[in-house]
């Protein structure tokens, strides 16, 4: 079966190696991976900023490019949440688009949700050394129900998870929130960094690159040069 990979802007531009780890995992589960070359943004930044026209244009573009596949996998809770939870709002005045979106929506999965509940993978033990703590990204947790899936997969590859205090709390990124409300964002991410340190784990793992860059950036600015910040695809694929 064919899986359309929605790469996400941040992975494409900032950490393309994560995309290759995602492909390795999906192909390893027995699926053919297709990456539409003209894909761009899911429309979330425009939608969150109130620009519905641009958001809808991007949503229609995404619909055209991905409705052909058996499944659509998104290695980001925020982009996956935008597609599954908010495209219906953008298409609500167009019955034809809503029908097409309804068919697409049923096929859209966040990466770990896909691996656990669709592919039903049993990953072999990996060689990752050390303990990790896990940050639950807001959109993946609250819009897509991603909570147990990453932990189940980490257990499969033999990675021990130490739960940090406030693992479900926001990291302070929130896309344009971090730009508009810098002081509040900084206070939130400082609390997250303190909780990571208090866990005693040497690595924080997560499923959304926006959170990943925000947390890693603050750790480094605070003088922490040793705590590793990894996307779960990298850990599961053994690319660390």
- The two three-digit tokens of residue 188, written as one number: 């939130």
For 116-163, list the strands marked E by DSSP.
132-134
How far apart are the two ends of the chain, measured CA to CA in Å?
Answer: 28
Residue 60: CB atoms within 10 Å: 18
Report the pLDDT value the prediction gives residue 178, as an integer from 0 to 100. 84
- The two three-digit tokens of residue 195, written as one number: 């909780």
- The two three-digit tokens of residue 31, written as one number: 């699926």
Rounded to two decimals, the pTM is 0.95
DSSP state, 72? E
Residue 36: CB atoms within 10 Å: 17
In the chain, which stretches have pLDDT less than 50? Answer: none
Q: Give 29's Cβ-side CA count (13 Å radius).
A: 26
In the chain, the domains with their CATH numbers are: 2-118 (3.40.50), 132-237 (3.40.50)
Report the pLDDT value the prediction gives residue 197, as an integer from 0 to 100. 97
Report the pLDDT value the prediction gives residue 24, as an integer from 0 to 100. 98
Report the pLDDT value the prediction gives residue 76, as an integer from 0 to 100. 97
């Amino acid at each position: 079966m064919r899986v359309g990979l929605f790469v996400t802007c941040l992975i494409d531009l900032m950490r393309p190696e994560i995309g290759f780890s995602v492909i390795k995992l999906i192909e390893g589960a027995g699926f053919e991976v297709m990456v539409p070359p003209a894909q761009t943004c899911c429309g979330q930044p425009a939608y969150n900023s109130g620009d519905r026209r641009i958001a809808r244009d991007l949503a229609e573009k995404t619909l055209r490019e991905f409705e052909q596949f058996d499944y659509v996998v998104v290695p980001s809770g925020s982009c996956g949440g935008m597609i599954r939870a908010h495209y219906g709002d953008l298409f609500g005045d167009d019955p034809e688009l809503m029908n097409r979106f309804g068919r697409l929506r049923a096929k859209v999965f966040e990466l770990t949700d896909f691996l656990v509940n669709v592919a039903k993978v049993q990953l072999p033990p990996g060689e990752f050394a050390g303990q990790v703590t896990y940050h639950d990204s807001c959109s993946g947790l609250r819009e897509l129900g991603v909570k147990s899936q990453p932990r189940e997969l980490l257990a499969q590859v033999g990675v021990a998870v130490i739960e940090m205090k406030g693992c479900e709390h926001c990291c302070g990124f929130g896309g344009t929130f971090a730009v508009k409300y810098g002081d509040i964002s900084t206070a939130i991410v400082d609390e997250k960094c303190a909780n990571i340190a208090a866990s005693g784990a040497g690595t924080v793992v997560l499923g959304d690159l926006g959170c990943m860059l925000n947390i890693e950036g603050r750790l480094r600015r605070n003088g922490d040069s040793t705590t590793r910040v990894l996307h779960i695809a990298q850990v599961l694929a053994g690319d660390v």
